[in-house]
Every structure is written in structure tokens, then in C-alpha cells.
Amino acid sequence: MLVHYILAFFTGVLVKTVDWLDDDIKSKHPIKFVLAALYGLGIGYLISNASFAMLFLGVLVAMVFARKIDTLAHRLGFLVASLSLLFFGLPEIVIYLFVYFLLLGFLDEIDFIGRWRLLETYRPLLQIGSLALVLIGRWDFFFSIIAFDIGYLTISFHGKRFQKHKKIKKKR
């Protein structure tokens, strides 16, 4: 369903906005908690209802193992995603897909050094892994991670521009 891809895009927007508020500008504004709850609700809904549920479930669990749920706002987002599964319902777990995306999600989140640093910067493993599933006719995984990443990267780009603009204004 198209609505699932649109929701994947908006969860990417919300996740990166919370990242930006917490990590980049160190905001104490309570809006980040509202946004985290909204992305948690969106992720929970996608895990319960989308054909690409195992991607989002695998990555959600990978974030725990990679210790990336490191702020109060992200803990709230994780909690809302987890609790919303009780409301929306748990999907049928397809073990091989869940483990596949869990591993790819974890590898995308670990810190690399040296020549492997580009893997940390661009985090391509989920995209490549999702694209590989096209070989078995599963385009939905690829389109969903691309939708999420477009939302995420859009905020990343505009957040950097905002910070740069703010620094220039302070110098004046």
C-alpha cells in the first residue's frame, strides 16, 4: 500500500528530527518527545501492518543491540513503538527476514574505522540488502528503506543548513 511507504518517509523525517534536536543542537524543547512518540506510533503501525514489517522490526531490535537508543526521546520512541504493537497486533515473524534485517541494521550502526569508515558515514547495508531481495521479487523492502532514508536525509541536509545559517548569524 502506498500509505505504508508515505508513513515510512515520515518516520524517517521524525527520527532524524529527534536525532537533530538531541544530538546536533542539544535542544531541551519538549517537542522532541512528541515527535518521538509519533515516530514510535508510525513504526509500530508499520511493523503491525506493512508487507515490509520485518525490515522495521529487525532494525528496531538492532538499535537495542547497537545501543543507539541513547536518549530519553529515543527511549520514548522505542517504548511507544513496542507498546503500539500490543494495540495494532504483532505480525507473523518471518525468522529469516527478521534475522537478515537485524544483522544488516546492526552492521549499519556499528562504528567503523580506517578505510571502512565510509560504511559508517553512508550506512549502505540496509539499502544493498533490501535491493538484493528484489531478486526474489520483494521490491517492498527496497522501496520502504528508500522512502525512510529520503525522509531521514532530507532533515539531515536541512539541519546542517540551518546550523550553518545560525553560525553565520552569530558571527555578525
pLDDT for the residue 158: 87
pLDDT for the residue 161: 65
- Domain ranges for the chain: 2-171
How far is Cα 145 from Cα 44, in angstroms, rounded to an integer? 15
Q: Which residues 6+ apart lie within 8 Å of 101 measured at CB? A: 54, 55, 57, 58, 59, 62, 126, 129, 141
pLDDT for the residue 36: 98
pLDDT for the residue 99: 99
Nearest one of 129, 128, 108 to 120, comparing CA atoms? 108
Give the residue ranges of the chain where pLDDT is below 50. Answer: 165, 168
Lookup result for grid cell 514510535: 40
Vertex 143 angle, CA 44 and 7, to 5°: 35
The pTM score is 0.89
Nearest one of 33, 41, 1, 3 to 17, comparing CA atoms? 33
pLDDT for the residue 164: 57
pLDDT for the residue 10: 99
Alpha helices in 20-138 (DSSP H): 31-49, 53-65, 72-88, 95-109, 117-122, 125-132
pLDDT in tens, 40-85: 999 999 999 999 999 999 999 999 999 999 999 999 999 999 999 9
